[in-house]
Amino acid sequence: MLEKINEPKDLKHLSIEEMQTLAEEMRAAIIKRVNTTGGHLGPNLGFIEPTIALHYVFNSPTDKFVFDVSHQCYPHKMLTGRKAAFTDPDKYHTFSGFTNPAESKHDTFFIGHTSTAPSLAVGLAKARDLKGEKYNVVAILGDGSLSGGEALEGLDNAAELDSNYILILNDNEMSIAPNYGGIYKNLALLRQTRGQAENNIFKAMGFEYMYLEQGNDIAALIDAFKKVKDSKHPVVLHIHTLKGKGCKPAEENKEFFHYMGPGALDNKPTEYAPSYISLTVDYLLKKQQTEPTLCVISPGTPGAYGLTPDVRAKLGKNYTDVGIAEEHAVAYASALARAGAKPVLNVLSSFIQRTYDQLSQDLALNNSPATLLIHYGAIGPDNVTHAGLYDIPLICNIPNMIYLAPTNAEEYIAMLEWSLKQTAHPVAIRVPFTEMRHAEKPVQTDYSDLNKYEAVRHGKQVAIIAAGNFFGLGEAVCAEMEKTLGISPTLINPRYLTGVDSDLLNELKKDHQIVLTLEDGVIDGGFGEKIARYFGPSNVKVLCYGADKVFADRVPLEELYARYHLTPQLITADVKKLLK
Amino acid sequence: MLEKINEPKDLKHLSIEEMQTLAEEMRAAIIKRVNTTGGHLGPNLGFIEPTIALHYVFNSPTDKFVFDVSHQCYPHKMLTGRKAAFTDPDKYHTFSGFTNPAESKHDTFFIGHTSTAPSLAVGLAKARDLKGEKYNVVAILGDGSLSGGEALEGLDNAAELDSNYILILNDNEMSIAPNYGGIYKNLALLRQTRGQAENNIFKAMGFEYMYLEQGNDIAALIDAFKKVKDSKHPVVLHIHTLKGKGCKPAEENKEFFHYMGPGALDNKPTEYAPSYISLTVDYLLKKQQTEPTLCVISPGTPGAYGLTPDVRAKLGKNYTDVGIAEEHAVAYASALARAGAKPVLNVLSSFIQRTYDQLSQDLALNNSPATLLIHYGAIGPDNVTHAGLYDIPLICNIPNMIYLAPTNAEEYIAMLEWSLKQTAHPVAIRVPFTEMRHAEKPVQTDYSDLNKYEAVRHGKQVAIIAAGNFFGLGEAVCAEMEKTLGISPTLINPRYLTGVDSDLLNELKKDHQIVLTLEDGVIDGGFGEKIARYFGPSNVKVLCYGADKVFADRVPLEELYARYHLTPQLITADVKKLLK
């Protein structure tokens, strides 16, 4: 079946039975592909039948689909000319795992962060109405994404539309982890009552509401989609689907198989670089023994921080998964800290982006001594939506915030310990995202004398300020310069990304002509520019290294490093040129 | 009565009648004070009786009040030791207009942005529970703030608490402007049915829910607050209040008197610096004639942009007030632009902070050609919560974004016109926040050759790159340097805050030793640091001017300018020192 489907119109003449066969072929291909490359398994397996029915009933790309977070877009890709990425191992890496307008006219937006589809779809609907056009706008939203503020803002606005707007609520009873929040009590009740519960959050907002229990039954889905198609007002169609459908392990362990590494279905151990993560978890579990007000927080993505179900069970009341609600997570942490508790918020670099105002107003302005652990902050070959590049400029330009960049395990734990002890500042720590490194001598335990850098090695002419993940690169640059230029550089671990050590920098002016800054993130607005500004009125020359301000999509790390001169050889060559 | 009240306990023995007298005295004082100094009139007048009843029933500061946005905190201040700020004209300016923990132990947080209280209160409640303490946590939320994503995230989480959490929903049927969104249909129905509507958004989320129609009746309020006090689970008490109560003009024109300038009750015309605002409005109304897909957007604060009720009526379907929902506003604008419409989002510098991720993921990554007008971006004597300092670092470090800084009326309109014409980029324009200036010669109409600065005046030795609002300062610095140093500097209008003009900067290297950057915002992460970095490896010295990364609270502008060396004399003196 799949062989014959090259675009959505090829579906239109199929019988229900043929579509069921198609679904099974798609399922087999997805399982095989994800078990080879890794990827989002559960959400895609649960959304095969709905996708077939969507393309059968609606006419993409005239009708517009907006897939929230797009963790469920593989079936859509398979039906819109991109099946080779799932059937041909040579092409497994040809296409992105997310919707991508550069790939296909059937993808309306680049999407990888949650809770945006209801809002984006309102804009499409309004543009259609202003232009006097006629088509269906269909937002597809997972239940887990519903707790995000942007989704709720979007729904609130959608309800005011006086025209076609269709929200398919794909309720598989799970976020990445189990759902948390009052909204989910309502969804559970709606499932139990087959949509007949007295209080209905969608009806309360003014939506027409329909419920379909058989969310993986193609015939039932087609009927339901036909009912909402061409609706002249906003409608929510709540469908109950099975996450991981058709793959027993994924049905049974929905959290683990939401996103999986290669070979996970064959019990291959996941190849995270887990060292700093397990170090964190071990620390927190130990801390819990002596700190009854510890509150470990995850905004809906606990697995990324090693907060597996058993760790969560151990943490008990000392753990909150706020659901996908990063803004709340920061405000919550701030209030906990102000009231004397010890919050530790875990968040991915890419997702801390959702909280600038909360970092500034709720947290920093109130100087609440909360601890934030920023994970996966690094230049990487990520999908463009998940780059860990921007957390440094985001955090380091907010007054009162302290942003620390540890360079090894002992320093990291010392900083975390200090952060939990002190009560003067909000402290963010950029969790190292490198191979595990260890300190060569005892590390400092008190970081309250702010912005004091550590000169690890004293040299002349050239000083290298190597932050966090790039401290190892700094060491390698030193070695390379000694070897090829005969220069013995000074090497500095700045530790603080939020300020400059003017004493140390002034000292450098005496016998250093060139200062290099190395940071594992975008240069613009980041740490290095603070150093460049500091030396602006002096004779010291500054070269800042990091990533360019460009959206890079799945570019191999080596290529990025070559592009940005992030190797000892390229940096040394730059310095050699400057010394001439 | 008011004379005798110095702290909340002084209320506790008053009779209802005495409290009513107190309310009237407080009302008179607030009206007089706000008509003298300007301030938030309507929301405070509507919340006098509830505040008296709150302090009568609960025991602040043991019980914690969190006033959302704190536009309604004047009565609270009057009852907690700060009445002089409302009764003694000499002390009118002693206290902030917002809750401020530095002023009083009765203020739990610095708050000035909306929609944070439900979320902050969850953190307080959780900390209390972890510490084994007992007190009431009371969040006070206006109906207008309910549409903000952070509020909804907070409510969703609050509903999971298994302990005391009280949300007072202060429903005065208004945001700053009329409410917009499906949630408000539900609130209207709840008011109509006295809380008995079939679908109830709060009950749907799992809250206990109570309704009080007489939201300005002290006795009824006391009864209602007693019912929710010491609740062992999350409860929403929905009270219906009258915005502007007791001041006829404020009752009749709720939007105009939400926040008013001095003398507005005596029909004194408001002393905005309205020039660029009316210029914008005139432009948009004219544009509407030829551009049927124009969509002017305001996130709940239309008055700040001159989008008065009559302008909104003229704009008709070409206008959307999304309510307090900045995240949605950006995503909505992005989708409108992608679908070929012409969105123009108006937003205050301080509130664009609520949208970093939407700017990055929804807008910039999708390269949607939406236009954003950033208003009130400037160093100012504002309350600390409303500083217009951070929009430059926020926006200018996001890939694909174009951030323009016009220096006069003609340039501003030309940039706006270009932005609406082009389809290649998302464009933000920092609306000038100065006295009206005019171009001395025809301005450029096409800005698609990105990052091309304009050398307005060619000189030697010193070059001044003076962005946006500070272009006039740049001119004054030139004059001062000619006069006192005999130097004729080069003066550059950079126009683009998002990139450097390497051709022009390289040209400067030939006969300039010092480059100054002037920007009307925080220096950290902003425009000037990009110039400092660019010249980092060269012999050119760079001095960056702007604001320090510090939360400044109501500091007079002259003092800030002196502190940051933002005068021609101070800058010239710095240069003189450097030239030695």
CB of A420 within 8 Å of a chain B CB? The answer is no
Is it the case that residue A174 has pLDDT exceeding 90? no
What's residue A270's pLDDT? 59
CB of B91 within 8 Å of a chain A CB? The answer is no
The 8-class DSSP code of residue B105 comes to T
* Alpha carbon of residue B308 to chain centroid: 18
Question: Which residue of A113, A181, A362 is in closest CB contact with B120?
Answer: A362
Return mean pLDDT, chain B.
Answer: 96
Residue B453 · residue B495 · CB < 8 Å: yes
Is the backbone peptide bond immediately before A249 cis, with ω within 30 degrees of 0?
Answer: no
Q: List CB contacts (< 8 A) between B181 and chain A.
A: 156-157, 159-160, 205
CB contacts < 8 A (A, B): 405
What's residue B179's pLDDT? 86
Q: Is A295 in Cβ contact with B156 (below 8 Å)?
A: no
> What mean pLDDT do residues B507-534 have?
98
| Cβ-proximal residues to A203 (8 Å cutoff; 6+ apart), any chain | A209, B199
For residues B577 and B541, what is the distance between their CA atoms, to the nearest angstrom? 13
What is the separation, in whole angstroms, between the first and last Cα of chain B? Answer: 66
What's residue A425's pLDDT? 97
Span B40-82, pLDDT tens digits:
999 999 999 999 999 999 999 999 999 999 999 999 999 999 9
pTM above 0.90, yes or no: yes
- At A502, list the tokens: 């003017």
Span A450-470, pLDDT tens digits:
999 999 999 999 999 999 999
What's residue A126's pLDDT? 97
Q: Please name the amino acid found at residue B76.
A: H
Q: List CB contacts (< 8 A) between B322 and chain A.
A: 153, 157
What's residue B269's pLDDT? 67
CB of A460 within 8 Å of a chain B CB? The answer is no
Question: In A533-548, which positions are buried (b, 16+ CB within 10 angstroms) versus exposed (e)?
Answer: bbbbbbebbbbbbbbe
Helix (H, G, I), strand (E, B) or coil at A127: helix
* β-sheet with A427-430: strand ranges across: A319-321, A294-298, A342-348, A371-375, A427-430, A402-404
- Mutation target for B interface from A157, A359, A401, A512: give the one with most B CBs within 10 A: A157
Residue B296's pLDDT band (boundaries 50, 70, 90)?
A: very high
Angle at B46 between CA B42 and CA B50, to 5 degrees: 150
Share of chain B above pLDDT 70, in %: 99
What's residue B580's pLDDT? 80
> What mean pLDDT do residues B388-416 have?
98
* Domain A275-430 falls under CATH 3.30.70.2740: no
Tokens 């593989």 belong to: A74
| Strand A541-547 with B39-40, pairing | unpaired
Helix (H, G, I), strand (E, B) or coil at A428: strand
CB of B185 within 8 Å of a chain A CB? The answer is yes
Helix (H, G, I), strand (E, B) or coil at A33: helix
Tokens 């409608």 belong to: A235
Task: Tell me the backbone φ, ψ of residue A163, rounded to 5 degrees.
Answer: -160, -175
Q: List CB contacts (< 8 A) between A320 and chain B.
A: 126
> What mean pLDDT do residues B384-391 have?
96
What's residue A271's pLDDT? 53
For residues A37 and A262, what is the distance between their CA atoms, to the nearest angstrom? 5
> Which residues of chain B are in CATH 3.40.50.970 domains?
2-265, 275-430
Task: Indicate the CATH number for domain A2-265.
Answer: 3.40.50.970
Report H helices in B38-87. 42-45, 48-57, 74-79, 84-87
ipTM of the complex: 0.96
Q: List CB contacts (< 8 A) between B532 and chain A.
A: 529, 532-533, 536
For residues A578 and B505, what is the distance between their CA atoms, to the nearest angstrom? 18
For residues A123 and B331, what is the distance between their CA atoms, to the nearest angstrom? 7
> Which residues of chain B are in CATH 3.40.50.920 domains?
454-579
Q: What is the CA radius of gyration of chain A?
A: 26
Angle at A118 between CA A116 and CA A121, to 5 degrees: 100
CB of A336 within 8 Å of a chain B CB? The answer is yes
CB of A543 within 8 Å of a chain B CB? The answer is yes
The CB density around residue A143, as the number of other CB atoms within 10 Å, is 23
What is the separation, in whole angstroms, between the first and last Cα of chain A? Answer: 67
CB-based burial label for B16 (10 Å; 0-12, 13-18, 19+): middle
Span A258-302, pLDDT tens digits:
999 899 999 876 555 558 999 999 999 999 999 999 999 999 999
- Mutation target for B interface from A134, A156, A175: give the one with most B CBs within 10 A: A156
Is it the case that residue B225 has pLDDT exceeding 80? yes
Nearest Cα residue to B354 out of B334, B377, B325, B383: B325
Q: Is B153 in Cβ contact with A549 (below 8 Å)?
A: no
> What mean pLDDT do residues B501-529 have?
98
Q: Is B361 in Cβ contact with A110 (below 8 Å)?
A: yes
For residues A430 and A178, what is the distance between their CA atoms, to the nearest angstrom? 27
Question: Which residue of A64, A130, A205 is in closest CB contact with B186?
Answer: A205
The CB density around residue A223, as the number of other CB atoms within 10 Å, is 14
- Mutation target for B interface from A103, A114, A152: give the one with most B CBs within 10 A: A152
CB of A389 within 8 Å of a chain B CB? The answer is no
What's residue A267's pLDDT? 83
Residue A321's pLDDT band (boundaries 50, 70, 90)?
A: very high
Task: Indicate the CATH number for domain A454-579.
Answer: 3.40.50.920
Q: Is A537 in Cβ contact with B536 (below 8 Å)?
A: no
For residues A494 and B14, what is the distance between their CA atoms, to the nearest angstrom? 60
Q: Is B544 in Cβ contact with A541 (below 8 Å)?
A: no
Convert B185-225 into a string of H (helix), E (strand) and C (coil). Answer: HHHHHHHHCCCCCCCCHHHHHCCEEEEECCCCCHHHHHHHH
Task: Tell me the backbone φ, ψ of residue A278, rounded to 5 degrees.
Answer: -70, -30
The CB density around residue A89, as the number of other CB atoms within 10 Å, is 12
Q: List CB contacts (< 8 A) between A553 and chain B.
A: none
For residues A496 and A468, what is the distance between their CA atoms, to the nearest angstrom? 9
Q: Is B205 in Cβ contact with A201 (below 8 Å)?
A: yes
> What mean pLDDT do residues B253-267 have?
91
The CB density around residue B87, as the number of other CB atoms within 10 Å, is 18
Residues 208-237 of A with CB under 8 A from B: none
> What mean pLDDT do residues A528-554 have?
98
Q: Please name the amino acid found at residue A87.
A: T
Span B443-460, pLDDT tens digits:
999 999 999 999 999 999
Return mean pLDDT, chain A.
Answer: 96
Give the chain A residue whose CA is nearest to the CA of B126: A336
Q: Is A328 in Cβ contact with B207 (below 8 Å)?
A: no
| Cβ-proximal residues to B520 (8 Å cutoff; 6+ apart), any chain | B377, B378, B379, B433, B467, B468, B469, B470, B546
